[in-house]
Structure 1
Amino acid sequence: MENVKKLETLSQDKTLNLKQVYLDTQIQKVIDILNQELVGLKPVKKRIQEISALLVIDKLRQSLGFMVGNPGLHMSFTGSPGTGKTTVATRMGDILFKLGHSKKGHLLTVTRDDLVGQYIGHTAPKTKEVLKKAMGGLLFIDEAYYLYKPDNERDYGAEAIEILLQVMENQRDDLVIIFAGYKDRMEQFYASNPGLSSRISNHVDFPDYSSEELLIIGKMMLEEQQYQFSPTAETVFLDYIKKRREQPLFANARSIRNALDRARMRQANRNFDNSGRLLTKADLVTIMEQDITKSSVFSLT
């Protein structure tokens, strides 16, 4: 009955300025940075926007005295390497901090080796030490499926998972845990750990970038280092991307960064070979077509 009266009172109040409440949180600045940092990923950005919207509404409801349930912020990020999972996790930490759902908002990234010991009695202290460092922020566990090795009876990964489950349930206000890895392997991981899967409310899948998106990412990376493509080099680099994507061990933005590092080395070597003439500023900042076509990717076709 009390809740009904509260709703009736609210209906008589003046209209709430949700836009102003949103602006006051300053999370739009974080989302703007995320949009600048990452090309594409529309479904991922939409999910982050939805989570942010829910938390803002909860914040407004709480200010009016309404009950606010725990939103369940533990997450699963699935996708190929180099698709921006760590970057999104970092910005998610900023958003949760600004909304008061994280005391510090920092991100601690770990793998199995940081959590699991090699002998009896070693795993618990390792895992608890990591959790201690992560408290008040976000714990990002990359390639989380390596925590579970059912074919090895002497493996201690299950002990680490048990400790994580306890913290996820009992200290959800103090720590957000994000499990990350390849989608198919993560699905197997969750299938073998139903207690873990039930504690994760937000499953976010990161799609691979298109060739055109990877070209934009490459140009952004070059710009950060004060380099640029020549007009023909840009076209050739797009061709490089299309060929490289068909080869093994392609890692999206990571592979693009590696390719550009090698292109810059070829450019530097080319300038040294031409050291008999004076160099211009353009020579120092421009990646030419030949700096890309000398890649082994082209020799394989």
Structure 2
Amino acid sequence: MSTQRIHHKNGKINIVLHDNNATNLNSHNHAEHAGKDPFAHIDKELSTFVGMNNLKRKIKEIYATIIINEKRSQMGLSNTNQVLHMLFKGNPGTGKTTVARKLAKIYFDMKLLSKGHFIEAERADLVGEYIGQTAQKTRSLIQKAMGGILFIDEAYSLARGGERDFGKEAIDTLVKHMEDSGDDFVLILAGYPYEMERFLTLNPGLKSRFPFILDFPDYDVDQLLEIARQMASEREYQLSKDAEWKLRNFLYKQESMLNDNFSNARFIRNVIEHSIRMQAVRLLYKEIITPDELMLLTGNDLKLEDIESIW
């Protein structure tokens, strides 16, 4: 997999290209699934996602439709291409960008997209400063995204300036190309739940162009702890019992406070990375360090009293 970043003065476009030699989800011998779970390989692909049961069901529906359409074609029956444009609603740190990036790979493996690359953009990448520039910038971005996924976070910002704002021109251009380029282009818009609901009312027919509108609820305490264990394990660390206890108590406190600034899995990632640095400082004072000590993050390493600096 290769990554290319193109920076702009007021924004950024992040392009991720997938390795064309990746295992293809649609290349399985489907006869081998007889009497077995036909979705086992999808479950494996999505196993790192905590929760998100609705998303997992939708991916299985898409995959099942592909396979059944193949069988219909073999028997001379007609079938139609699936429209895969999506809208994600959720607070920060609920996995919207991570899921969108993963979908680019999955859709490529399913042969739904020809390239499977992922382009992340924001308002400044689409909206120009004078008449005519916005449509040109938006079309250029869509062209870069052909064969992959164009992901626009905080999409409601395109409509924040009212009727005279050039953001409306970007929305209109996106809507047009959603229809014209639907077979090899997926648009995913994302943002806060309330703002995205309001955004959908600004363009007639916009909501109907997104067959998949998915809510990304905040993680509960048990899910956040599972994410913490997973993030630590990926880095070849593990949390001690007292570290888990300390983190659980802190998360319950944040949950009871209904803290609007709490950032879900993003916060957990910062806690793990901060704890790793604290562990390094602690171990540096020791003359002999065992492999177990190098892997263990203790309650003392979780400096949650410094939480404002981690957020």
TM tier, smaller: 0.7 to 0.9
* 1:124-157 deviations in Å (ceiling 9; x for gaps): 222122111100111111111111124362x211
* TM superposition outliers: structure 1 runs of 4+ over 6 Å: none
Q: Are residue 251 (structure 1) and residue 263 (structure 2) matched?
A: yes
Aligned equivalent of 2:179: 169
Alignment partner of 1:60 out of 68, 71, 77: 71
Could you tell me whether the CA contact under 8 Å between 2:88 and 2:214 is conserved in 1?
A: yes
Rounded to whole Å, the distance in 2 between the matches of 1:163 and 1:214 is 39
The amino acid across from 1:131 in the alignment is I
Q: Which runs of 5+ in 1 are unaligned?
A: 1-17
Aligned equivalent of 1:145: 156
Could you tell me whether the CA contact under 8 Å between 1:244 and 1:297 is conserved in 2?
A: no
Could you tell me whether the CA contact under 8 Å between 1:227 and 1:286 is conserved in 2?
A: yes
Aligned equivalent of 1:190: 200
Alignment partner of 1:79 out of 75, 90, 93: 90
Rounded to whole Å, the distance in 1 between the matches of 2:282 and 2:121 is 40
Q: Are residue 267 (structure 1) and residue 285 (structure 2) matched?
A: no
TM-score (norm 2): 0.80
- Point out the structure with max Rg over C-alpha: 1
Rounded to whole Å, the distance in 2 between the matches of 1:191 and 1:294 is 41
Aligned equivalent of 1:208: 218
Alignment partner of 1:101 out of 88, 108, 112: 112
**Displacement of 1:21:** 8.3
* 1:164-209 deviations in Å (ceiling 9; x for gaps): 1111111111211111111111110001112221211111112221
SS of structure 1 residue aligned to 2:210? coil
SS of structure 2 residue aligned to 1:198? helix
Q: Are residue 92 (structure 1) and residue 103 (structure 2) matched?
A: yes
Aligned equivalent of 1:42: 53
Stretch deviating more after TM superposition (239-248 or 122-131) = 239-248
SS of structure 1 residue aligned to 2:143? helix
Could you tell me whether the CA contact under 8 Å between 1:134 and 1:175 is conserved in 2?
A: yes
Distance 1:62 1:92, change over 3 A: farther
Aligned equivalent of 2:134: 123
Distance 1:64 1:99, change over 3 A: farther
**Displacement of 1:211:** 0.6
Q: Are residue 229 (structure 1) and residue 251 (structure 2) matched?
A: no
Could you tell me whether the CA contact under 8 Å between 2:228 and 2:272 is conserved in 1?
A: yes
Stretch deviating more after TM superposition (180-189 or 62-71) = 62-71
When you count helix as a share of all residues, which structure comes out higher?
Answer: 1
* 1:11-43 deviations in Å (ceiling 9; x for gaps): xxxxxxx952879xx9753441212x2111212
Could you tell me whether the CA contact under 8 Å between 1:34 and 1:88 is conserved in 2?
A: no
Could you tell me whether the CA contact under 8 Å between 1:115 and 1:126 is conserved in 2?
A: yes
SS of structure 1 residue aligned to 2:205? helix
User: After the TM superposition, which residues 274-289 of structure 1 pair with which residues of structure 2 at under 5 Å, given as runs?
Assistant: 274-275=285-286, 277-289=287-299
TM-score (norm 1): 0.83
- Identity among equivalent positions (%) equals 40
Q: Which runs of 5+ in 2 are unaligned?
A: 1-28
Distance 1:167 1:158, change over 3 A: same
Distance 1:250 1:136, change over 3 A: same
SS of structure 2 residue aligned to 1:195? coil
SS of structure 2 residue aligned to 1:193? coil
RMSD (CA atoms): 2.4
The amino acid across from 2:178 in the alignment is M
Rounded to whole Å, the distance in 2 between the matches of 1:207 and 1:59 is 35
The amino acid across from 2:198 in the alignment is Q
Could you tell me whether the CA contact under 8 Å between 2:90 and 2:192 is conserved in 1?
A: yes
User: After the TM superposition, which residues 23-38 of structure 1 pair with which residues of structure 2 at under 5 Å, given as runs?
Assistant: 28-35=40-47, 37-38=48-49
Residue correspondences, number: 275
